[in-house]
Amino acid sequence: MSAIWYECKVKYRKTDDIGSQKVTTEPYLVDAISYTEAESRINEEMKAYVSEEFKITNIKVANYAEIHPFENADRWFKSKISLIAFDEESGKERKTNMYILVQANDVKEAYDNTVAVMKNTMGDYTIPAISESPIMDVFPYFSGEEEELEQLERFNALKASKPELVTVGETVENFIETETE
């Protein structure tokens, strides 16, 4: 199942570099199943960042096909990608546009990151536009299953690397002692 991204606009009082406060409205992206969950998630996320009162002024479905964060980048860029397909019936070339959000420090890096994302694409495409996005931050959904899966994989790898036979009645302390030796 693909992610549904909701753009949530949050209005709050922000303190700038010189210490003065002003009311600002900033957009954030949240991965959620519904508008209700998006509202709940943005409330949770913003409580960690904003100490004062804030208000959610708008929630809408974002038109991003994919979101690609990159390390050491601090801004988000919207890349328009035109997928090119040949229509055999009409004999014409057709373009289908999609938008992806990539993280980068400037437009050139955003272009390079977009090319890197599209590297394994089988079809032809062009990148007609890249612009800086007003999105301040992106909050993907993590279920916690990823961590459980990693722990299970580590457990199975450890178990497979040194099989031990434990007899009934052997205490856990004896088992631990034999494991550490």
| pLDDT, tens digit, 9 for 90 and up, residues 97-129 | 999 999 999 999 999 999 999 998 888 999 999
8 A C-beta contact, residue 11 and residue 54: yes
Q: CA quadruple 102, 108, 113, 114: dihedral positive or negative? A: positive
Pairing mode of beta strands 138-139, 21-31: parallel
8 A C-beta contact, residue 104 and residue 73: yes
Backbone dihedral region of 114: left (phi > 0), alpha (psi from -120 to 50 degrees) or beta?
alpha
Residue 49 dihedral angles phi and psi, to the nearest 5°: -105, -30
The pLDDT value recorded for residue 155 is 57
Tens digit of each residue's pLDDT (9 = 90 or more) over 29-72: 999 999 999 999 999 999 988 888 999 999 999 999 999 999 89
Residue 73 has what DSSP assignment?
A: -
**Angle, CA of 76, 80 and 84, to the nearest 5°:** 150
Mean pLDDT of the chain: 83
Read off the pTM.
0.72
Tell me how far apart the alpha carbons of residues 9 and 7 are, in angstroms, rounded to a whole number.
7
The pLDDT value recorded for residue 55 is 95
The pLDDT value recorded for residue 20 is 87
8 A C-beta contact, residue 10 and residue 42: yes
